[in-house]
Amino acid sequence: MRKTILLYALLLALLIFLLKVLEYKFFVRDLSLEFYIGVVALLFTGLGIWVGLKLTRKRNPMPPPAVGSFVPNESALQQIGISPREYEVLEGMAQGFSNQEIADKLFLSINTVKTHTSNLFTKLDARRRTQAIQKAKALGLIP
Amino acid sequence: MRKTILLYALLLALLIFLLKVLEYKFFVRDLSLEFYIGVVALLFTGLGIWVGLKLTRKRNPMPPPAVGSFVPNESALQQIGISPREYEVLEGMAQGFSNQEIADKLFLSINTVKTHTSNLFTKLDARRRTQAIQKAKALGLIP
DNA sequence: ATCAGAATCATACTTTTGGGTGAAAGCATT
DNA sequence: AATGCTTTCACCCAAAAGTATGATTCTGAT
């Protein structure tokens, strides 16, 4: 979060700096207003989308299993108390990804993924990821 | 979220204010450009966030799969060249056992199990046991 | 306003896995 | 007997996984 804001501030500063430089170097002031507004609008729309995504954690999920979608057993999920984010990690695990790969996919640090996996192991009463996968399958949590 | 946006606004205001101060110290220029940039940036950041949220709000699970009894795909097994012993190790892996546990079950040393797993990874083109399990399942080698 | 839960990340440490190499013994088949 | 395949085991090293603990931030509910 702090990082995000810092990055935002940095980008903003950079943008304004660039505009300033352009302004001083080429005197493009006359035809500039609409141009500036356009550029700034575009940039900040993109930035806003990025920030929105970052903030609301609605990231792109794992690559889907090739055939036939699957309906997880919601009641079992809730009974065990597996959170949405944990479930995403579980999916990655079951698809054979390493913690690092899952972290990359979900835009997390590997430490966070480890935390999620640890919690999953506790909730699923497993000691290894393979065991967790096996149990999750048995419970109809994953395909 | 609210705090974040407020912070953005604050940072933006601060930045522009600083720019203004700097500007006044050297050249006295037209004020409107930065003002416009600020306004447009804010507006479009908000817009971007809104769009981002709009775009990521979607949920659409689909129909359930079918389940059947399992018969290992012998032809695939032979094609890949998985030996009987390797298959036993694969089964143990898929059931969530550690190498040590598999070794105990099959009365082997852990080293032997490791050799088998290594060979399995090569044959299944996998880097992790979870991946091997996933691939073996996809090939109909295991349930 | 407080409080519980998610979710995020870190650091330090231990255990398990995985990769590479080598090698011995048993077995079928040629 | 020589060949090839399987099975067995060892050792070393590196990478990944797992454990424990603590902390921060944000959200939703009370």
Per-residue pLDDT of B98-132, as tens digits, reads: 999 999 999 999 999 999 999 999 999 999 999 99
For residues B48 and A48, is the Cβ–Cβ distance under 8 A?
A: yes
For residues B108 and B96, is the Cβ–Cβ distance under 8 A?
A: no
**Covered bases, chain D (protein CB within 7 Å):** 5-11, 16-22, 25-27
Using an 8 Å CB-CB cutoff, list chain A residues near B15: 9, 12-13, 16
How far apart are the C-alpha atoms of A102 and A114, rounded to whole Å? 10
Using an 8 Å CB-CB cutoff, list chain A residues near B8: 5, 8
**Least confident residue range of A59-73, A86-100, A103-117, B64-78:** A59-73
Q: Is the per-residue pLDDT at B3 higher than 50? A: no
Find the length of chain A.
Answer: 143
What is the average pLDDT score of chain B? 72
CB contact under 8 A, A96 and B11: no
Q: Write the pLDDT tens digit of every residue in B71-96.
A: 777 777 778 889 999 999 999 999 99
Q: Is the per-residue pLDDT at B66 higher than 60? A: no
CA–CA min distance B91, chain A (Å)? 11
pLDDT bracket for residue B140 (50, 70, 90)? confident
Find the length of chain B.
Answer: 143
CA-based nearest residue to B33, from A123, A40, A97: A40
Structure token pair of residue A99: 């913690």
Task: Give pLDDT, residue A118.
Answer: 94
Task: Give pLDDT, residue A140.
Answer: 86
CA-based nearest residue to A51, from B115, B49, B131: B49
Q: Please name the member of A12, A42, A93 whose beta carbon is closest to the beta carbon of B12.
A: A12
Cβ of A58 near strand D (distance < 7 A): no
Task: Give pLDDT, residue A107.
Answer: 93
Q: What is the mean pLDDT of residues B21-29?
A: 62
Query: In Å, how far are A10, A37, B7 from B12, measured between CA atoms?
Result: 11, 16, 8
CA-based nearest residue to B140, from B86, B89, B80, B84: B80
Q: Write the pLDDT tens digit of every residue in B28-44.
A: 656 555 655 555 566 55
Q: How far does Cα A27 stand from its chain's mean position?
A: 42
Task: Note every long-range contact of B32-37, with CB atoms under 8 Å and residues 24 or more positions apart, other chains counting.
Answer: B33/A19, B33/A23, B33/A32, B33/A33, B33/A36, B34/A16, B36/A33, B36/A36, B36/A37, B37/A16, B37/A19, B37/A36, B37/A37, B37/A40
How far apart are the C-alpha atoms of B17 and B10, rounded to whole Å? 10
Query: pLDDT above 90 covers what percent of chain B?
Result: 38
pTM of the full structure? 0.62
Q: Is the per-residue pLDDT at A16 higher than 90? A: no
Structure token pair of residue A105: 């996919």
Task: Give pLDDT, residue A60.
Answer: 36
